[in-house]
Amino acid sequence: MDLPQILFGLPVRWRSGAQPTELGSTVVAGFHVRMLRWELHDLHFEDLQLAPAGHLISFDVADSKSVRSLFQRRGIFYHEAGTSRLTQLMKKLLQGDGVSAPKWHKCDRHWPVEADVAFEFVGQCYFNTRVVYLFRHPSSHLAIFTDDVGRQDAEEHYREEDGRLRTRE
């Protein structure tokens, strides 16, 4: 397993023998995706004291040739070592069918870009309360974006709140 030496832009050292807990696994468009939980007491960020009761999430993504470890090294995307810093397109996208486009909420979403080339959407899956979107770059790098399953945007929140207030009247 490829454990990163830099997370969130900070150097990190892992405790010898550190192992994650698997939170689930599934297959997405031919990729076997595993969601993993790492305890913070297994790593040390240089010059930064962390509470011992926290965790990080990572993903292992396997195809017929290899297994790749995706961590949040910098920014909001989970990606593998060797990927240059990812930027993002913020677009308004409509609900997709889960094959040709992400089936995500009708509000701004994050789409990974590397070296000015957008990733392509591969597929999505669910782990408990998280929806996971898998992307592939033409160079074959992988990236994941996650979100809460029951997420509301501001419009929906206020519409729901307005509906509750009207039923009380």
pLDDT in tens, the chain (169 residues): 667 777 767 788 888 888 899 999 999 989 999 999 988 888 877 766 665 667 889 999 999 999 999 988 777 888 887 777 677 665 544 444 445 667 666 555 678 888 888 888 888 888 888 889 999 988 889 999 888 876 555 565 566 667 667 777 6
3-state secondary structure of 18: coil
Domain assignment present for 51: yes
CA gyration radius for the chain? 18
pLDDT of residue 95: 45
Looking at residue 61, its pLDDT comes to: 94
User: Which residues constitute the domain of residue 82?
Assistant: 6-168
Q: What pLDDT does residue 34 have?
A: 94
Bridge partners of residue 88, in order along the sequence: 112
Query: What is the rounded CA–CA span in Å between residue 100 and residue 124?
Result: 11
- Write down the pLDDT at residue 94: 44
The half-sphere exposure of 160 on its side-chain side, counting CA atoms within 13 A, is 6
- Which phi and psi (to 5°) does residue 84 adopt? -70, 165
Number of separate domains in the chain: 1
For residue 50, being part of any structural domain is answered with yes
Q: How far apart are CA 162 and CA 64, in angstroms?
A: 51
The whole-angstrom distance between residue 24's C-alpha and the CA centroid of its chain comes to 14
Residue 1, in any domain of the structure: no
Residue 132 inside a domain? The answer is yes
